[in-house]
Amino acid sequence: MQSNEVSITGAQEPRRHMLLRRWPTALGVGVAALTLSDFDDGREFAIVLLLASVGYLLIAVLERPRATWWVLIGLLGAVVCLRLLNLPPEPVLAAAAVAATIVGLVRGSLRRLWLPALQAPATMIFGGLAFVAVAAGSQIGSTLVAAGLLGHTVWDVIHLRARAIVAPSLAEWCAVLDTLIAIGILVLVWS
């Protein structure tokens, strides 16, 4: 009887470790659900696209994947503070992206290998799409935000598979978050 108990406990142990390894997925699902609970017209999620792209750029310039989550927390804190001061965070994030690109080019961190070299152009594309989406009409703008988030999901998966630039946990979390918010936007806007 005791050997049977050991085998059941032993079989549960790998599952527990698997669940612990998937914490970024669980966090992404939770944050997406919380984020989508405050749905307006979908364009408000352009900030997610802008934060994700600027975050990846800053981490590429720093060349410190271990700082990934701290950079994200710093960016989120900056956005909250700017909003509390009734200042739009989007221009500040755009200026930070320009400054980071200049620093990265001078330092050389954005000129090494192929993935770091693509960070600034990717930030321009995703960030530009976020700005256009906010300026567009409700349904078109929301669809553009969703398309941008799905595109960023691909970017997340590239980083996750390459295990480069950002911590794999952030790439996994961001891929789940981007995908679920994009699907949520499309369902809520087009249904």
Phi, psi of 113 (to 5 degrees): 55, 180
Can you list the alpha helix ranges (DSSP code H) found in 37-88? 46-62, 68-84
The predicted pLDDT at position 11 comes to 54
- Position 13 scores a pLDDT of 63
Q: Which residues of 34-66 are buried (b: 16+ CB within 10 A; e: fewer)?
A: ebbeeeeebbbbbbbbbbbbbbbbbbbbbeebe
Query: Residue 103: what pLDDT?
Result: 96
Give the mean pLDDT of the chain. Answer: 90
Dump pLDDT digits (tens) for 15-56.
Answer: 666 667 789 999 999 999 999 998 888 899 999 999 999 999
Token look-up 């950002």 returns: 166
pLDDT in tens, 121-137: 999 999 999 999 999 98
Model confidence over 51-93: pLDDT tens digits?
999 999 999 999 999 999 999 999 999 999 999 999 999 999 9
For a pLDDT cut of 70, what percent of the chain falls above it?
90
Of the pLDDT bands very low, low, confident and very high (cuts 50, 70, 90), residue 12 is low
pLDDT at 16: 65
